[in-house]
Amino acid sequence: MSSTNGHSQSSNGASVPTHPLIISNKPHTTTHSFPVYSPATGKLVHHFSSASIADADAALSSAQAAQPKWKTLPPAKKRDIFLKAAEIIESRREELSTYMVDETGAAAPWAAFNLNLATEILRDVAGRVSSISGSVPQTATEGLSALVLKEPYGVILAIAPWNAPYILGIRAVIYALAAGNTVILKAPEFSPLCSTGIVTTLHQAGLPSGVLNLLAHRPEDAASITKHLISSPIIKKVNFTGSTAVGKIIAELSGKNLKPVLLELGGKAPAIIWEDADLDLAAQECAVGSFLHSGQICMSTERIILHEKIADEFEEKFKQAAAKFAPEGTDPPVLINSAGVAKNQRLLKDAVEKGATILHGNHEEGKGTKMMPVIVKGTKKGMDLFYTESFGPTVSVMRVSSEEEALELANDTEYGLSAAVFTKNLQTGFRMAKGIESGAVHINGMTVHDESNLPHGGMKASGFGRFGAIGLEEWVRTKTVTFKD
C-alpha cells in the first residue's frame, strides 16, 4: 500500500500526515509513501515518504558536498553541536517518547531508557571529539621523517533498526559524524518518525546542511535502494545493526564493492547460573534480561544454563520473577508485529512436541501482536529453539553438572554478542568470562547491558567492529606521509 503526499484518512476518519525525507536539512517530498501502523492498537499512525533511486542520489550528492567543510570544522564546534542536541532531546522528550510508543508499541519505560542513553551517548561523544590523533613515528631511513594521520572516510551509510530506535539510531550516526564524516541515515520502516526525531534534533542543534540526511523507503524497495547506496562510489563505509540474515546481505554487497562495514547483528545470549550464585539476584536479572521489550533486544537472554545443584531452587525463583515482570490479568507485552508472535509460538510448539516442557506461561497463547513471557525447560539439539534466535518473550532453561559442560553449551551457537555469569566467586566468573565466545560477558548482571563508555559489538554471526568508547577509531582511516628533512 502506498499513498500520495499530504494527508490521508485513518480508519476513524482522522487526518493522517505523510512525513517527508530530509535532505540538505530540508523536508524532501517523494512520489510514493508507505503506511506505519501501531503494533499495540493496529491503527494507522502516519504515512512516510518512500525514497526512489533519484531521491537516494540527491542524498548522496548532499552528503558528498558537505563533507569537506564538515571535516575541517574544529572539534570544539562539533562538540558544542552534540551537547546542544542532548539538551534538545531533553526538551523534546515527551514528543520523542510518543513517536516510539506509537510506532513500535514500546512501553513508556523502555522509551525513556532509549532517550536517556541517547543523550548520554551524545554527551560522551562530545567529550571525545578532540581525542582523534595521529603519530610521528621513527623511520629506518636517515634524513626521512614521517607522519601518520587519522582522517575521516568521507560519506557513511548508517542503517539502524526499530527496536531501540534512539539508542541505535544515534549510535549509527554520531561516532561517524564526530570523526568528520557525513552520514546518510536509512530509517527502519517500522519507526521512521523516530529517525526523523534524531535528524531534526541534530539539525536544530546547528548541524550544517547536508552533513546528516534521512532516507526511508517502502519494504518492496529495500533491495534496490540499499544496493544502489552501497554500490555508489560516494559511500566509503557502512554500518548496519539488525538481523544476521540481513547482515549477510549487507556484508556481501559491501564486499563486492570493497567497502568496509561494521555489523552488529543477532544474538542467542546465554546466562550461566553457578552453584554459588545469589539466586534472587540471578532470577531478577534473568527475568528482565529475557523479557524486557518483549525480548526484542539483540542482547536478550535466550538460554539460562543452570548448575544442577541449584536448578530446582532457581527455577522456582525465576518463575516468580517472571510472574512479577508480566503479571497475569494485565495486558500482554507487545511485539512489533504478529509474525514475531507466530515465530515464537512455532518455536515453542516444536520444542514441546520434541520433549521440552513449559515451566511458565502458555506457549499456545498469544493473539495478534501480544504475547506473555514463556519459560521452556529441556530445550535440546534437534529442536528449532535450541539454535534459533526467538527475538521474543521466550527463554530456555538447561541443566549442567560441570564448568566444561556449561561453557560448551554457552558456546554452542553461531552467535556471540552478549553473555552473563552469576557467581559469588570472582575468579570463577573471570575464568568463565574468558571461556565464553562473546563480545561482552557480564558477571552478576543481565545480558542486556549497553553504555556509551564501553565498546559494544559481537563475534561470530553476531558481527564485527565496535560501537562505543572506541567508536571513533572505526570511522577514521590511516594515512602515512613521509618527507625528507
d(CA 137, CA 445): 42
CB 277 within 8 Å of CB 304: no
Q: Angle at CA 264, nearest 5°, toward 105 and 53?
A: 75
Q: Which residue numbers are catalytic?
A: 264
Q: Which residues pair with residue 33 across a beta bridge?
A: 49
Cell of 215: 532516507
CB-hemisphere CA count at 13 Å for 55?
26
Q: Which residues pair with residue 22 across a beta bridge?
A: 27, 214
State whether the Cα torsion 206-212-213-215 is positive or negative: negative
Task: Tell me the three state secondary structure of residue 112.
Answer: helix
Beta strands in 415-475 (DSSP E): 418-422, 440-443, 463-464
CB 12 within 8 Å of CB 44: no
State whether the Cα torsion 291-266-453-188 is positive or negative: negative
Spatial neighbors of 454 by CB under 8 A, at least 6 apart, are: 440, 468, 469
Largest CA distance in the chain: 80
DSSP class of residue 467 equals B
